[in-house]
Amino acid sequence: MRVLIVGLGYAGTRFLNAFSRTAAETEFAYVGRSQKETSLPYYDSTTRALAEFRPDVVVVTVPDMAHAEILSELDGYRGFVLAEKPLALPGENLGRIESHLRTVSGFCMDLVERYSDATRVLRTHVLERDLRLVRAHFTWGKDRINDHRPTSGVQSEVIHPLDLVQWIAGRGAGLELESVLGTRSDFSVSGDAVLDSVALSARLDGGRVTGYSSFVNITRSRAIDFVFRDPQGELSYAGAVYDTPAWDADRLRVWRRTSSGDEVFREVDTREEPVPDEARTIVKLSRMAEDVTEFVVRGRQPASPFPGLADALALQRLLNTMDAQVNSADPVAYFPAGRTVLQEADLERLG
């Protein structure tokens, strides 16, 4: 199997490590603006790499603002595409992107939290018990103040809980935004008024969703709480926490309250599960890479469907609506006198 990574930076290197852990014999090459200190074959253009390397899988991990351009360069490509989120920037032509990907054999967006044991167990429980969403609330943030990586803003962070809430509890329905309050700042090298945080409310299949997501959250926090109603009218609760205290350390508790105490239905806790050094921070990503490999090499469908192009387009339209509706005050100035850009090395903060 041949894997072409377009953008061998932080995210691209993580995918390189994840695909290296699969059972398939894999050749790698990369596309970048300049050649790196690696023995991997290098190409200065995606078009030339497609023609000469002939990859089975193309992994798109360039900065957010280049996603649409690279995806459009895959026009006519017949292999599998794995793309970082978000799909595009607000205002970019989604129909054009969809058209240029019409010939691909498969598509997966890096919505990696779908590959968490907590997510899988909770989604299965909701479907098996025919639960209906009453209320969901998420808090999803991390610290990217003065991060050297360009970004479209909090869109790249809030996409995870927006996807998870729909995937777990939506029963095929899509979120309908009601209100969005946001904050802009110069936290990023990408500009002086980049949207860094949002607080929103929405409806989903008769239930209400609220949440807060931020790229200037000093402490990483990734949690979603749910209240469900079963067919008999009884309430049950679920709390899912992701990547705490370390990446891929997830937990879930599903329960209902009774006069004699809580009745626990499901519990997951991966905090104490041993992780080899070479798999640190990429446990869930490796599951995604394994599913893609099995699909490409053996034609095996994954147990859960890939977060496909239809999902990516629907989420991008939701992000576009959020961007259009957001109310924000004057931007916050973290660096009024200029900045010294930091080359971050802490994997936990980068994640």
Condensed to tens digits (0 to 9), the pLDDT of residues 200-223 reads 999 999 999 999 999 999 999 999
- Sheet containing 261-269: give its strands across: 261-269, 251-258, 235-241, 216-229, 132-143, 207-214, 194-204, 176-185, 327-328
The 10s digit of each residue's pLDDT in 300-315 is: 999 999 999 999 999 9
Look at residue 29 in the predicted model and tell me its pLDDT: 98
Look at residue 147 in the predicted model and tell me its pLDDT: 85
Q: Give me the phi and psi of 314, to 5 degrees please.
A: -65, -40
Residue 238: which of 257, 221, 220, 219 has the closest Cα?
257
The three-class DSSP label of residue 43 is strand
Look at residue 351 in the predicted model and tell me its pLDDT: 55
The 10s digit of each residue's pLDDT in 20-71 is: 999 999 999 999 999 999 999 999 999 999 999 999 999 999 999 999 999 9
Q: Give me the phi and psi of 271, to 5 degrees please.
A: -65, -30
Cβ contact 202:170 at 8 Å: no
Q: Three-state secondary structure along 309-344?
A: HHHHHHHHHHHHHHHHHCEECCCECCCCCCCCCECC
When the pLDDT of each residue in the chain is averaged and rounded to a whole number, the result is 95
In whole angstroms, give the CA distance from residue 72 to residue 53: 18
